[in-house]
Structure 1
Amino acid sequence: MNANQTKLLKKIDQAKVFLTHNRNLFKCPYCGAKMTAIEDYSLICAQGHRFDLSKKGTLFLIKHGVKSDYDQKELWQARRHVLQHGLFDEVLEQIIQRMPQRNLTYIDVGCGEGTPLAQIRKQRRQFNDQAIGFDISKDAISLATQQTANSFFCIADLAALPFANRQIDVIIDILSPSSYREFDRVLAQNGILFKVIPNAKYLIELRHRLYRPEDPKYSYQNDDVLNRVIEQYPQTEVVPVKYQFDLTPELATDLLKMTPLQWGTQADPANVFKTSLEYVTVDMSLLIVRKIL
């Protein structure tokens, strides 16, 4: 079955096709056994644990109940709107330029509603990539399945990735937490980790409207995060990415809805729009780690 034929199938059937060809990428989140069979619309491990595809073609690959502060449909809709208008475009371009020019298997850690992964797939349409996005938020994954780019989505736990050892060529981690032990386990030989962290000026215009100067959240430093990565991976390459993102009133409203910055107890959302917020600074570091065995 070719790619065009696959696109004509229902989401659940598209996912079944993907799993039929790629079950070796996964391991059981309960017992760690290999996934050995596809039965009807279920993925089954060697010990008999069964994982059923949802109607939207997703898998629940986590061994505990899920409760996330990010399970807010309005948040994910707002994030999609802002990202599709370009908030992360320049950092995504930096990642795409550095991805190997061959067919790859990659995962998007904390993929949210799927826009970054969809943009990467579209820019790499000449390759037969296997792309997987996962998040702990059910609402995010439900929305991600609406993306037109052909990717597979699942609900999974970062601390216990449901992927087999050394099967992933590229890990993409944009402003999400990390589990370096798990990353090391799943990355293939010569695999690459792209981790994006915020710098001091990231969304500083919004931050300064939400908080007073005496509040600790008025400023931000990423030294601890950066030092942890470099300590874990001394070979890390650091690429600064900084640009201005212009806002319309609608984009400014959605930016506020999507960002955890507003969750601080001393945040003052009412102050954000006392005057128009016409742009924000996107200030990030792209950390590139090439696995050396």
Structure 2
Amino acid sequence: MLLREDAPELYALVDEVAAVVGTRGVDQVVVDACVNASVLAHGVRGRRLLTLGLPLWEILTPQQRVALLGHELAHYSNGDTRHGLVVSTAYRSLTTWHYYFVPIPRPSAVEMVTNLLYVVPRLLLHGMLTVLDHLTLRAAQRAEYLADRGAARAASTEAAVGLMDRILVTESAEVTLRREANRASLTGPHGARAAEGGAEEIWERLRAYMASIPEDEYERQRRVGARRGHSVDATHPPTHLRRTCLLAGPSAPAAVVTGEDRERRIAAELAGARATVARRIVRDGFRA
């Protein structure tokens, strides 16, 4: 976890982006190894927690990072019911309880009885989650489009569209990280320790690989998404539709621009987390 005193420049950027999209900043920032990002409210006071997936952060340009922050924070200013305190708390509580009632794998005789006792409460929890999903589904899909507009206001339409393109190929980033982790594990204990020592180079190789992806691969992914169609029970609209929606509206300039000095300061604040996450990927493997 990064406290405000540990990363004042990052928090200042989050606050600036939040002001542009019409909300407040966050109370805590956590960095993890996922190719994702999210903001959630927790507790009675509705404290906001920003989770930054470092692999996603590393493959974005500075303006695309602003767009990412703008998208996540805009969920709190566009009427997204799933990010409201009541609904988000209910959803998180139900999800947590459902996790605890998951059947025990390879159970013993006693655990088989426990699994049987878990069936009814697990089905009840699953039913409540399904009802909550359906009640908030349309609002959640609409909120994604509105959050994309917030991203464009903060970082520019060009940066928001670039973020959509990166999201299209996040699977490639996941494959690259698995390959890096597997390569370290195949070299044996001594090789793994050496790889862990130079683990931060994983970010350079990840960025280099993502930069090598040709434009026709992005176009292929967009066409695949169009052929796949839109599932009515999906919480997120297809990425190609979100990209098209951004391009269909007027082009917005960037309200928040990060200069080179600011980028270096934020990078310095994230240096410790970057090294920790890289070593964890090399040592424990990558899990999407």
TM range (shorter): under 0.3
Q: TM-score, normalised by structure 2?
A: 0.25
**Greater helix percent: which structure?**
2
**Greater strand percent: which structure?**
1
Which structure is larger by alpha-carbon Rg, 1 or 2? 2
Higher relative contact order (CA 8 A, sep 6+): 2
Q: TM-score, normalised by structure 1?
A: 0.25
